[in-house]
Amino acid sequence: MNAETIHQEQIEAAIQAVGVANRPVCLHSSLRSFGYVAGGASAVIDAFLAVGSTLLTPTFSWGFAMPPPVEKRIAQNGWDYDNYLGPTGGIGRIFSPNTKEIDKDMGAIAAAVLNQPDAMRGNHPICSFAAVGPLAARFIEGQHGDNVYAPLDVLADMAGMVVLAGVSLDKMTLIHLAEKQAGRNLFRRFANDANGNLAAVEVGGCSDGFEKLADPLLTLRRTAHVGQSYWQIFRAREALVTAAAAIQADPWITHCGRADCDRCNDAVKGGPVGI
């Protein structure tokens, strides 16, 4: 047997060891970070399900995004309307939770969750979440265009966990919910609704500066190595409250540092106005 191969049983043991078994988990992951996994992404998913967890993952699909309407510009919305360079792939398309389309940068494990026979996907055209496991319906039923992070609210309410497997804090969508709880309005982007009409939906902003929250979150973090993958594990409620307090105390803590980042600049100001 290849010494660098990791098997489902080893992943199950690691999940048990870090105290995540039998709890709902929002997983942000890089399959490549594990090294070689026998069974691939499905083995990782099966490991969580085998120990009683419901698995939640972001399954974003920016291919359904549309240009903003020219007749109504939302102020402080993290956009340069006069020099629009955003997505246009949603022209003529309508999202359905039944679609399996997902952005490539979501990763192999998120794509595999979405393709599970019993997976459930939220009704958000651009920033959906998908879940698999016994509590999947509870996580997904509340997500829609005006409540993008509803699944993460449920995660916190249910004493769930966030696991960063081989990725950094800039992938932690819970911090976007913390921004909202700190008093920021979330940005609005556009996609067709079920009737084919252009609609504004909530989305997160720039996350490139989220690593600066490492210090406030340090005492809440547990770590482990699973194969070659470095895991950071957080209790969702504690991390949410701590991150929101840090953002309230210093709104610049989430800023990516680029002077021309419209999203970060407007987020520091409180996000969109007049919505």
State the pLDDT at residue 208. 98
Structure tokens at 79: 């956009």
Residue 7 clears pLDDT 60, i.e. is over it = yes
Q: What's the chain's average pLDDT?
A: 96
Domain residues for 199?
A: 5-268
End-to-end distance of the chain based on CA atoms, in angstroms? Answer: 58
* Distance between CA atoms of residues 206 and 249, nearest Å: 19
pTM for the structure as a whole? 0.95
Do 182 and 247 contact (CB within 8 A), yes or no?
A: yes
| CA-to-CA dists, residue 53 to 17, 27, 34, 68, 131, angstroms | 14, 11, 20, 39, 11
Q: How many helices (H) and strands (E) does the chain have?
A: 9, 12
Q: In this structure, is residue 219 part of a structural domain?
A: yes
What's the pLDDT tens digit per position in 89-130?
899 999 999 999 999 999 999 999 999 999 999 999 999 999
What's the pLDDT tens digit per position in 185-210?
999 999 999 999 999 999 999 999 99
Q: In this structure, is residue 273 part of a structural domain?
A: no
Domain count, the chain: 1
Structure tokens at 70: 């020219």
Strands 198-203 and 120-121: unpaired
The amino acid present at 126, given as its one-letter code, is I
Return all residues near 47 (Cβ < 8 A) that are at least 6 apart.
8, 9, 11, 12, 15
Q: In this structure, is residue 123 part of a structural domain?
A: yes
Query: Alpha helices of 75-167 — where are they, by DSSP H?
Result: 108-114, 136-140, 150-157
* Residue 187 CB-half CA count within 13 A: 23
Q: In this structure, is residue 275 part of a structural domain?
A: no
